[in-house]
Amino acid sequence: MNAQERFAADAAHELRTPLAVIQTQIEVLLRGQETLSTKTQHTLASVLDETKSLTTITEDLLVLAREDAGVKSLTMDAVLISDVIAEATRDVQPIAQNKDIALKFEHASSIKVRGNRNGLKRIFMNLLDNALKYTNPGGHVKIFVEKTSSNLIAVSISDDGVGVSKTDLSHIFDRFYKADNARQSSGSGLGLSIVKQLVESYGGSVALESELHRGTTVTLRFILSSS
């Protein structure tokens, strides 16, 4: 690990605890919100949202630093992919409902892939969060799983959202890069970098196709587990 990577890893590690403390303290205050003014409640809720965003960025930086250093801290197992996607889909369902977005998951059962359950869930949470964020109210997001060969499966996440321009496509997996239509969002520009690095660490691949104002499809390929 070089000096820059070590700095990123150390900084991310040191930020985790104070951010966790701040988040906990705000949540404690909000639990007693009947004693708070409406303005104070809104301010605390906003600070809590920003704290959660900082926590996500910190965790993303730590994952990237570890991967850069070749530190494989996550165990590799045979993971039932449909269970992980179903869990991630349930977690983001409230967001879909709030935007009136139809979120559909189609899959073949009993398919196991080589990977880490927590890492796989992080991958799908990042991709679903992106799809929902950039799909307009009343739109559609679909997840489809299929076996494509004797040792590979493909997972596609498609939306009919705002899409990505051809100019942005060549940089979409670059760290901290944000496409033109995402520059006003609160994201860090690390989500797709995390997805690519994790998928490749499991021996898989990721591809993204998009058309501006028509939607985006991200296709992940994973190695089937023999166990």
What are the domain boundaries of the chain?
A: 3-68, 77-223
Helix (H/G/I), strand (E/B), else coil: 150? coil
Query: In whole angstroms, how far apart are CA 59 and each of 55, 83, 129, 203?
Result: 6, 23, 16, 22
Average pLDDT over residues 203-208: 94
Q: Is the pLDDT of residue 160 over 80?
A: yes
The answer to whether the 3-68 and 77-223 domains have the same CATH topology is no
Between these two residues, 53 and 93, which has the higher pLDDT value? 93
**Calpha distance 227→223 (Å, rounded):** 12
Which CATH fold topology does 3-68 show? Answer: Helix Hairpins (1.10.287)
- pTM beyond 0.85: no
What is the CATH code of the structural domain delimited by 77-223?
A: 3.30.565.10
CA 163 to chain centre: 17
Would you state the pLDDT for residue 209? 93
Average pLDDT over residues 193-218: 91
Average pLDDT over residues 97-111: 87
* Residue whose C-alpha is closest to residue 103's, from 121, 117, 124, 119: 124
Helix (H/G/I), strand (E/B), else coil: 211? strand
Contact 22, 51 (CB under 8 A): yes
3-state SS, one letter per residue, for 136-149: CCCCEEEEEEEECC
Lowest mean pLDDT among 85-99, 121-135, 162-176: 162-176
Q: Is the pLDDT of residue 136 over 90?
A: yes
Average pLDDT over residues 187-200: 79
Q: Is the pLDDT of residue 158 over 50?
A: yes
CA 150 to chain centre: 28
Q: Number of C-alpha atoms within 13 angstroms, CB side, residue 72?
A: 9
**Calpha distance 100→137 (Å, rounded):** 5
Question: What is the gyration radius of the CA atoms in the chain, in angstroms?
Answer: 19
Q: Is the pLDDT of residue 70 over 80?
A: no
Between these two residues, 72 and 15, which has the higher pLDDT value? 15
Lowest mean pLDDT among 1-10, 166-175, 198-207: 1-10
